[in-house]
Amino acid sequence: MGVGRPIVIGSSSAAPTGVEEHPAEVTGGGGGAAGGGERSHGLVRAAAGVRRRSPVVIQFPNTAEKTVRAEKLLDGSAPDTSEIARLPEDLLSAALALTTSRGACRAAAVSRAFRDAAGSDAVWARFVLRDLPPIAAGELAGPAPPSKKDLFLRLSDRRLRVLLADGLRIRPVPKNPLLAHGLKTMWLDRGSGAKCYMLLARGLHISWGDTPCYWRWMDLPDSRFKVAQLLNVCWFEIRGKIHSKMLSRDTAYAVYIVFKTPVESYGLDYPPQKASIDTVAGKKIIRKVCLQSYKGRHVNRWVTMRLTREYKSYRRGHGRNPVLPQERADGWMELEMGVFYNKVSDDGEVRFSLLQTSPTSKRGLIVQGIEIRPKKLG
């Protein structure tokens, strides 16, 4: 195996007994000839009895050798001689439990001792929150996760988010009043362990949502639950709410509406919609948003001219761009309605709504639900 570049660091023989070695000294000008001469004669006298020595060459391992050594250390085929390996595993576990799930995973790559501690139930029991809401029967079907870490990874998989018990009117546990606001799915944020939710369309209040000539409920291949499609209205309002105790404490949350706008959609581009959030503390957060963005779409010249004219008019009156939607990895669109902070002392409902009251015809919006998930600020 190859090695890195050799480095000369000293000599192979020691100084004779009774002879003191002095480090090299560098003197600057202005110190006086006498002082410099005394230091020079001292070095000469000290070096007089030191015989000439050959240099010592140390070979440093290259990157490949370091990698092999690290792999042997982690798989147990090589002893871990580091000082950290002498610490008890329960002490390392207690320290890692004070970090985050992401931090624990990173620590597992440090050494075998860290890997064993980072995978222990003592650490991951801290991240699998004890105040999880009751999960509907059958949502965690199959063999039970063998460890707390496996349970966390299952609950933090957004593709397999679990339905809460009261959402299906299944009550394997006593009724939880915090879940009384309709269909919800839940998962854990993989980075922070904070709780995330989606209020499904059936759990939202949609104006005229049960009127067949205005909205229809349908199934889509890429949605586990029924979605609502706007057929034809002049104005609409979509509202939802969640209790602050269901959220993780001391955490910033963002609210997103998850939707689609088929090609035949219209009336959702202008004027912008109004999104609002009412916090537990009574603060109202309002922002202008736009559900329909023509980025990457083919539209005819008439639509382009109309949007340009109306957009310029809007900017003159408001001076700020509305928030536009972003495409998700699952093919749906999401639009951030606002951000709020869930304090430790908060105890009440957080309400949010999306409103469009302009007297123009609107069509095509498909609503999957509203997501509430942590957002990193700054």
For 19-34, write each residue's pLDDT tens digit: 444 444 434 444 444 4
- The DSSP code for 98 is T
Task: Dump pLDDT digits (tens) for 290-324.
Answer: 998 755 444 444 444 455 455 555 544 455 688 99
Specify the pLDDT at position 73. 52
Say whether pLDDT at 96 is over 50: yes
Say whether pLDDT at 142 is over 80: no
> Angle 280-285-288 (CA atoms, 0-180°, nearest 5)?
150
Question: What are 218-227's contacts with CB under 8 Å, separation 24+?
Answer: 220/366, 222/330, 222/331, 222/332, 223/368, 225/183, 225/200, 225/201, 225/368, 225/369, 226/201, 226/202, 227/201, 227/366, 227/367, 227/368
- Structural domains of the chain sorted by starting position, each given as residue range(s) with its CATH number in brackets: 63-127 (no CATH), 188-374 (2.60.120.260)
* Distance of alpha carbon 344 from alpha carbon 354, whole angstroms: 27
Specify the pLDDT at position 275. 97
Say whether pLDDT at 357 is over 70: yes
Task: Dump pLDDT digits (tens) for 260-269.
Answer: 999 889 889 8
Where does the pLDDT of residue 77 fall: very low under 50, low under 70, confident under 90, or very high at 90 and above?
low
* Distance of alpha carbon 378 from alpha carbon 374, whole angstroms: 13
Say whether pLDDT at 188 is over 50: yes
Mean residue pLDDT across the chain: 75
Specify the pLDDT at position 217. 96
Within 10 angstroms of residue 68's Cβ, the number of other Cβ atoms is: 13
* Distance of alpha carbon 293 from alpha carbon 205, whole angstroms: 25
Q: Phi, psi (5° rounding) for residue 113?
A: -65, -45
State the pairing for strand pair 284-289/7-11.
Answer: unpaired
Q: How far is CA 283 from CA 286, 310, 339, 347, in A?
A: 10, 31, 12, 14
Specify the pLDDT at position 128. 83
Select, from the ranges 105-114, 301-310, 315-324, 345-354, the one with the highest average predicted confidence (pLDDT): 345-354
Specify the pLDDT at position 279. 96
Say whether pLDDT at 270 is over 60: yes
pLDDT over 90 percentage in the chain: 36
